[in-house]
Each structure stands twice: as C-alpha cells, then as structure tokens.
C-alpha cells in the first residue's frame, strides 16, 4: 500500500480553497473494504473526512473530493494526515504543510519561486529589519542579490528611496552585492522619477516588473535563453525590460 501526495508545501492567503482529490486504486487482490480518513489540523476548523469504499467498479479506482478553506490565522501549519485502512492494515501519510500569508508575503513567495525557476537559490526572509528575499545563482555565489518585492499599486519615488535605503543598511550585514526591485505593477504604474533615478544611478540597483520576471522564466524554461543570459539580464543596472 502506498500513498503519494502531489505537494509537500502550499502557500496561500486566508480564504484560499484547497481541493483534495483522492484517487484510490482498487487492489488487484481480494478485498473487503477500504477506509479513508482525513484528520485536519484544528486551526482549519474543518470536520474530519471519512469515506468507506466497499465495492469495485469498472474503472478500477474511486475518486473522492474534499476541500478546506484557509483560515485567517497566519502562520505555517501541517494540513493534517490521511489514514488508509484495509483489511486491518493501517497506513498514514502527512498532508502538505500550509503557509498562510498576507498578500505581501504571498507575493514575496511568488517572486522567490520565479527566481528558483530561473536557477537561483532564493530564501524569503520577511520582517522590517530583513530583506524580503535573499538570492544568488549557484554559478556566481558571491553575487548575492537583495530582492525587494512590492505589491503597491503605484511604485513611486518614496518607495524607491525606502528600498534603496534598506539596501544600503543591509548590504554589509548580509554581504549583498546587488539590489533587485520587483514590483507587481507594470511599467505604466511606475513613476517617471523612478525611471530617471534608475537611468542615472551608478549603484548596482535594478528593477524588473513581476510580469517581465515571469516572461524571463518562461524563456528560460523553453530553452530560449541560457542561465548565463538570465544572470546577465538580472545583473543589468537600471530598468530591465524583457
């Protein structure tokens, strides 16, 4: 008997729905009944799920569906446990760990994920005294990036100053060599002053919109660009357009 789960970790914001599709393949051998039991972490305030399969069908498997809605309590929790019992033999498997985040935190996770898909090693820190994300490429480990991800609707000079100021504060402590700013908004929602500053700056500061980061990731996945090109793109000073 084996249980495999598609995810080991899930990231989401409160109110997100998690749909659990449980496909139970019927044993080839003689069987009487298969009991499926899902026990959720109390934080999810969801009743445990229980189902009994006691007859076979033409397709040779049964699909069960259940769902959970992420609560308001932010944090990292184990979703629960799935327990299967057949002819007196019981096995169990942990369900994925769930990270319930604010929308900002979720965006930071998404940026870290995109960077990972580009071959970077990235870690989300979070908190006011820490960078949003720390990232480096394994081929260039000394070139550590501080990544600041923001979902503000309008990326203006005030926010730009905040991000660059934070970079100057943290770069020695974390040994950062570059700052990469990733706003959620597209270029039309970035103020002209920010573009001016980016054009004139001699500091290792760059800005790439999240949409462009996704495009870059897509190109890399489709083998249109190499890992060196990816690194070259993200190491450009100023505004990066894909």
The residue from 185, 195, 215, 238 that contacts another protein (CB under 8 A) is: 185
129 binds another protein (CB under 8 A): no
Member of 44, 107, 120, 160 binding another protein (CB under 8 A): 107
Place of tokens 């965006």: 107
Contact indicator for 109, 99 with CB cutoff of 8 Å: yes
Does 57 interact with another protein (rule: CB under 8 A)?
no
Secondary structure of residue 189 in the 3-state scheme: helix
Instruction: Please count the residues of the chain.
Output: 242
Distances (CA, A) of 159 to 9, 50, 124, 150: 31, 50, 20, 9
Nearer to another protein, 8 or 172 (CB): 8
CA neighbours closer than 13 Å in the CB half-sphere of residue 72: 0
Angle 210-215-220 (CA atoms, 0-180°, nearest 5)? 125
Please, what is the minimum distance in Å from the beta carbon of residue 2 to another protein? 5
- Told to check if 7 binds another protein by CB under 8 A, we report yes
**From the list 35, 39, 51, 86, which residue makes contact with another protein (rule: CB under 8 A)?**
86
Residue 32 interacts with another protein (CB under 8 A)? yes
Q: Which of 3, 74, 157, 232 binds another protein (CB under 8 A)?
A: 3
Distance of alpha carbon 96 from alpha carbon 53, whole angstroms: 24
| Binder of another protein out of 52, 103, 157, 232 (CB under 8 A) | 103
Q: How many residues bind another protein (CB under 8 A)?
A: 51
Phi–psi pair at 60, nearest 5 degrees: 85, 10
Contact residues for another protein, defined by CB under 8 A: 1-7, 10, 12-13, 15-32, 34, 36, 67, 82, 84, 86-89, 93, 95-96, 103, 106-107, 151, 153-154, 184-186, 188-189
């Amino acid at each position: 008997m084996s249980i495999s789960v598609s995810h080991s970790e899930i990231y989401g914001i409160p109110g997100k729905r998690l749909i659990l599709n449980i496909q139970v393949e019927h044993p080839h051998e003689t069987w009487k009944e298969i009991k499926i039991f899902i026990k959720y972490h109390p934080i999810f305030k969801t009743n445990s799920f229980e189902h009994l399969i006691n007859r076979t069908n033409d397709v040779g498997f049964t699909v069960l569906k259940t769902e959970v809605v992420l609560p308001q309590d932010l944090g990292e929790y184990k979703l629960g446990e799935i327990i299967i019992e057949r002819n007196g033999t019981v096995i169990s498997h942990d369900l994925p760990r769930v990270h319930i985040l604010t929308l900002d935190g979720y965006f930071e996770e998404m940026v870290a994920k995109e960077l990972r898909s580009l071959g970077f090693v990235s870690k989300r820190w979070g908190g006011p005294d820490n960078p949003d994300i720390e990232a480096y490429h394994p081929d260039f480990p000394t070139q550590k990036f501080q990544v600041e991800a923001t979902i503000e609707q309008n990326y203006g000079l005030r926010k730009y100053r905040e991000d660059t100021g934070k970079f100057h504060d943290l770069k020695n402590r974390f040994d950062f060599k570059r700052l990469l700013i990733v706003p959620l908004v597209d270029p039309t929602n970035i103020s002209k002053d920010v573009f001016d500053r980016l054009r004139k700056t001699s500091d290792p500061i760059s800005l790439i919109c999240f949409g462009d980061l996704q495009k870059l990731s897509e190109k890399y996945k489709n083998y249109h660009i190499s890992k060196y090109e990816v690194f070259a793109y993200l190491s450009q000073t100023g505004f990066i357009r894909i």
